[in-house]
Amino acid sequence: MAVKDREKKNSRLKVKIGSVKLPNPTILASGVLGVAAGGLIRAWKDGAAAVVTKTVGLQPRSGHPGPRIVGLYGNSLMNAMGIPNPGIEDYLPEINAAVNQSIPVIGSALGSSPEEFAKVAVALRKAGVTAIELNVSCPHVGSLYLLGMDPQSTSAVVSQVVKQTEKEIPVWVKLPGSTDYPRLVQVAKAAEKAGASAVVALNTLPALALDVESRRPLLGAGIGGLSGPAIKPIAIRAVWELYQSGLTIPIIGVGGILTGQDVIEYFLAGASAVEIGTGVLTRGSTIFTQICDELTEYMKRHRIKRITQLTGRMKSQDVKT
Ligand X SMILES: Cc1cc2nc3c(=O)[nH]c(=O)nc-3n(C[C@H](O)[C@H](O)[C@H](O)COP(=O)(O)O)c2cc1C
| Residues forming the active site | 138
CB 51 within 8 A of CB 34: yes
Give the nearer residue to a second copy in terms of CB position, either 38 or 65. Answer: 65
CB 43 within 8 A of CB 288: yes
Strand 76-79 versus strand 251-254 pairing type = unpaired
Among 2, 74, 166, 246, which residue sits at the site for a second copy (rule: CB under 8 A)?
74
> 76 - beta bridge partners?
72
Q: What is the dihedral of CA 70, 72, 76, 77, to 10 degrees?
A: -10
DSSP 202: -
Give the nearer residue to another protein in terms of CB position, either 14 or 45. Answer: 45
Does residue 175 interact with a second copy by CB under 8 A? no
Tell which positions 116-135 bind another protein, by CB under 8 A: none
34/260 Cα distance (integer angstroms): 23
CA-based diameter of the chain, in Å? 55
From residue 136, give the alpha-carbon distance in Å to each of 64, 139, 154, 184. 18, 9, 7, 12
- Reference 187, options 152, 217, 216; nearest CA is 152
By rule CB under 6 A, what string of x and - marks binding of each residue 43-82 to ligand X?
Answer: -----------xx-------------x-------x-x-x-
Tell which positions 270-289 bind ligand X, by CB under 6 A: 276-279
- Reference 84, options 61, 65, 67; nearest CA is 61
Give the nearer residue to ligand X in terms of CB position, either 219 or 299. Answer: 219
Q: How many residues make contact with a second copy (CB under 8 A)?
A: 57
71 three-state secondary structure:
strand
280 binds, among a second copy, another protein, ligand X, none (CB under 5 to 8 A by kind): another protein
Instruction: Report which residue type is found at 291.
Output: I
Least CB distance from residue 319 to ligand X, whole Å? Answer: 19
Residues 6+ away with beta carbon under 8 Å from 171: 121, 131, 132, 134, 158, 161, 162, 165, 195, 196, 197
Q: How many residues make contact with another protein (CB under 8 A)?
A: 58
Least CB distance from residue 224 to another protein, whole Å? Answer: 12
Tell which positions 27-56 bind another protein, by CB under 8 A: 31-39, 41-43, 54
236/191 Cα distance (integer angstroms): 20
151/200 Cα distance (integer angstroms): 15
| Contact window for a second copy (CB under 8 A) among 1-9, 26-34, 122-130, 258-266 | 258-266
Does residue 257 interact with ligand X by CB under 6 A? yes
Least CB distance from residue 227 to ligand X, whole Å? Answer: 3
Among 21, 66, 146, 208, which residue sits at the site for another protein (rule: CB under 8 A)?
66
Does residue 236 interact with a second copy by CB under 8 A? yes
180 binds, among a second copy, another protein, ligand X, none (CB under 5 to 8 A by kind): a second copy
Residues interacting with another protein, by CB under 8 A? 31-39, 41-43, 54, 60-63, 65-75, 77, 79, 81, 84-87, 90-91, 93, 97, 211, 213-214, 216, 218, 220, 229, 258-259, 278, 280-283, 285, 294, 315, 317-318
Residues interacting with ligand X, by CB under 6 A? 29-32, 54-55, 69, 77, 79, 81, 83, 108, 135, 138, 174, 203-204, 227-228, 231, 254-257, 276-279
